[in-house]
Amino acid sequence: MFCYQHQGASVPDRDPAPPRAQLSWPVTATSYDPKLRTQTTIRTASLQILPQLVSPAAPLQVPTIIVDPQHPVYVLGERLTLRCSAPGGEAVNSYQFYNQHGERVFTETTGLPGGPWLVLTAETGKTGAYSCEYWAVRDGQTIYSARSQPVQVSVLDFPLAPSISEISDPPGKIPITIECSAPPAHMGTRYQFLRQGNVIVSQPSARLQLRQSDLDATGPYTCSYEISVSGRMIQSLPSAPLSIHLTAPPLAPKLSLHPKLPVYLPGEKVTLNCSAPGGEEVAGFRFHLHRGDQTPEELPAASGGAQMELTAQRGNDGSYTCQYWRWEARQEIASENSNRITVSVSDPPGKPSVSLSPDYSAYMAGDRVEINCSAPAGASPVKYGLYENGKPLGSLLGNASSWQKDLQVNGTRNATRSFACTYVDLIQGREVPSYASDPISISVFPAPAAPFLQLIPPLPLYVTGETVTAECVVPAGPYILRAHLVLRDGETLREQLGPQFPLNITPSDSGTYQCRYSSELHRRHLHSPPSEPVPLSVTDPPPQPALSVDPPSGVVSEGLPLLITCMAPGDTSKRRFHFYKDGAEIISGDIGPQISTTEPRTDSMNFSVLTVPWAGPNNTGEFSCGYEVNMSGRWIPSPRSQAVNITVTAWSLPVPLVAGCGGAATALALLLLLICLCRKKTAASRRLSTTYWKSQELRQSRIARRSTDISGVNMCLQQTIEGGWPQAASQDWGLLPKLPAEGPRPGRAAGRAAPPKGQKEEDDADSGAEFEFPDIDPTYAQVTFSCSTFRQGQGLSASLEHVYSTPDL
């Protein structure tokens, strides 16, 4: 039941009678209808308002009710206060409180600060909703407010008392452990242990260990527990008392650790040594492991010895103590606990990771790679170590964690390299090495070898317009060939798939050429080093020569000599001349057995003469010439000269032999001349060749130094009648044979000249002609070449002699 404490006076009825109205009968009223022109009398009841009737007052605002202290549940005997508060500004005459049944339990008529209050003492079964209201008098009327929102009050009996007991084995052995046990179906979340009614500890554990320091702890012990109800911790009733009596324990031993390290790794061996004070009688030792607030865990020790060996691992890290005991009156008396030694066990540092920069799928000999060792997040590395193929390569102190390696291979075979790393982490002041990282393996291949560049054809010098092929020869290797590149003076000219690069060269293409190639290996693009440089020299062809013929008209009678001269521009280069007929080169014997070519006698001579002593029908055609110049060991051909057409015609005499002679005599003389010519052709040709070349060498030596042009070659045919004067020709016929105007020449018989000494008589007799080769003044501006003289005398013998000369410019 609740106990109510209140003060107050008399309270008016909750619902006073409202003002009343009275009815009185009868009441008569008359109405007139103008349309019906009728009058109606209505009898009604009359309403009489009594004087006490007033208009209703405004309603009061709803109050609020609060409980202090505010808990979701209350236990027996707890006191709580209910307060009712009207909104500000309201004139309150009195407050009223109502219980869970709606019964009025308290009325307060005196206004108090903060509203009236009701003090309750919680009792079992008295739970429910409580509310309040207030009333006031306005204009003589009593007005009640509506009731407040209710507050819930829940009352709970105390949880059942726990039991307390000693669980030491054997009983009375120090340390003594007592246990607080909650009744079944009660889940204690926290336990209190009391000695002689005073709380000595409040802890989550239901067990309490009494140590050496509790020697004065003799007396009754009780305990209680707490449960959570609707979020509130409720204390149970106390347990029955437990009597504990402790005696003075022996002095504490000293605990030491070997090896003494700030942290241990799983698997490492640790030795605990417990040393009793000198003079103490010891029956045995015990070791304990302490973890937080839990009851110390006794560790098994072999035969109670003073040493205990541990294998460090997760689960046995914590604080260690030891104690010894002795026997007194057949009771085990344990010493105080020793000093605490903490054994920290930590896993080895996490494995680092190793990476490469640059990261290629394949590496080449000569590549430089950076090997990076990365410790996991949270580590504090103080040193790094690198391993290659399982062998240590070195270490780096501090934060440096990368190595530079130059990769090499032995010979031409590829190699596999494997790298791993470790680091040393600083854990609680101890340098702890990590496990090795997972290895990273790479393949190292021989670097692409330089190719070989060759020029096809391989010549020391090339001529503009020629096609040269630069071929890049790539050595064999494990690569996928992608492209070839040609470089000139270090700059790339062209890139293509094939190894051959045709070049139509000009002088601007001169330079030093190299080549290289691009390839792919394991998706990596590679470039070879350049090949050895190959020089390529280009020159323009020599200037075009000039071709001249004698006779200049290019028309020559059959049987007469023909001279074709090829003149090159003047310089000091060595030359080789070539003559062509109808586009084909003239080889000795191609156009007749009597053809001969004069080659330059010295390096400074810049012309050559093609000689046809006896022109024939096969000499008709288109003639041209060219020459070669020796440059850098190669004979470079010049363009061919302008072509000249040569026409060989049948023999004819265009002028009369003797003025006034008859046609018969003329025909007879010509017939005899032709017979003579045919009979002596071979001998005359042989003598002509000898005579010509001797004179030619002399003349060339005199005029070659000043020759720059060919003025032409002239031929003349002059008829002389024995005993008479030579008839003048119609044009300048050049050098003529030296014939006497009158009488015999010196050294010759009358009518016939004496043969020169050393010359066969029959040759002179056969030729019937005599020639002189006078010295030629090299300052002549123009010299005509040959002259053939026909002399008609006794026996109508005729001879033909041919004289040559070269122009002097």
Quick one: pLDDT at residue 393? 85
198 sits in which H/E element: strand 198-203
Q: In sequence order, what E strands does 247-346 have? A: 254-258, 269-275, 284-290, 297-299, 307-311, 318-328, 331-334, 341-343
Extract the residue ranges of the chain whose pLDDT is less than 70. 1-57, 89, 108-115, 169-174, 212-217, 246-247, 301-303, 329, 411-412, 572, 588-604, 652-809
Quick one: pLDDT at residue 24? 41
Question: Which burial class, exposed, middle or buried, applies to 727 when counting CB atoms under 10 A from its CB (0-12, 13-18, 19+)?
Answer: middle
Quick one: pLDDT at residue 123? 87
Contacts of 545 (CB under 8 A, 6+ apart): 566, 567, 568, 569, 577, 625, 626, 627, 638, 640, 641
Which position has the token pair 């080169």? 585
Quick one: pLDDT at residue 196? 86
- The predicted model scores a pTM of 0.42
Quick one: pLDDT at residue 37? 40
As a whole number of Å, the CA-based R_g of the chain is 73
- Alpha-carbon gap, residue 86 to 538, rounded angstroms: 120
SS3 annotation, 211-233: CHHHCCCCEEEEEEEEEEECCEE
Question: Which burial class, exposed, middle or buried, applies to 43 when counting CB atoms under 10 A from its CB (0-12, 13-18, 19+)?
Answer: exposed
Buried b (16+ CB within 10 A) or exposed e, 262-279: ebbbeeeebebbbebeee
Contacts of 756 (CB under 8 A, 6+ apart): 764
- Alpha-carbon gap, residue 785 to 777, rounded angstroms: 14
The residue count for the chain = 809
Buried b (16+ CB within 10 A) or exposed e, 574-592: ebebbbbbeeeebeeeebe
Contacts of 498 (CB under 8 A, 6+ apart): 484
